[in-house]
């Protein structure tokens, strides 16, 4: 696989979690899907959420489809860290959980029981 089909950018002070993001991405979207994953600051998360969803707060994950075969996911690690107890998951596990959630939005799913079932199947397979 060409490396240019998947990139990770960290704009935060947090270390990149030890998660095989590429393996998970390929499981959900396939090897040919071009994905940019950005670990975003809360300020960037809030700005994107305001600009694209008209919500004036930072959020844990945002997904943006650029085409049928490419997209971007922004994960706000500070917000995710603050939500560990809310979700009952450890930080790294919650990051993987939300990454999978973002991938399914890129695949075209909206929040639904079907989306939940498909996410759960991938989480089981990936040990998340």
To 5 degrees, how large is the angle CA 8–CA 96–CA 50?
70
Q: Phi and psi for 106 in degrees, rounded to 5? A: -65, -30
Instruction: Determine the average pLDDT of the residues in 85-109.
Output: 96
CA distance 35 to 106: 10
- Model pLDDT, residue 1: 41
Instruction: Determine the average pLDDT of the residues in 6-19.
Output: 94
Asked: is 3-126 a CATH 3.40.390.30 domain? The reply is: yes
């Amino acid at each position: 696989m060409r490396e240019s089909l998947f990139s990770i950018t960290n704009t935060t002070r947090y270390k990149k979690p030890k998660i095989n993001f590429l393996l998970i991405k390929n499981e959900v979207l396939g090897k040919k899907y071009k994905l940019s994953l950005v670990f975003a600051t809360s300020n960037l998360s809030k700005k994107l959420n305001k600009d694209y969803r008209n919500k004036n707060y930072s959020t844990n994950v945002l997904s943006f489809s650029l085409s049928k075969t490419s997209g971007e996911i922004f994960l706000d690690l500070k917000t995710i860290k603050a939500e560990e107890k809310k979700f009952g998951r450890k930080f790294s596990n919650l990051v993987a959980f939300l990454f999978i959630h973002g991938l399914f939005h890129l695949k075209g799913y909206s929040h639904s029981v079907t989306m939940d079932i498909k996410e759960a199947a991938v989480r089981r397979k990936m040990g998340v």
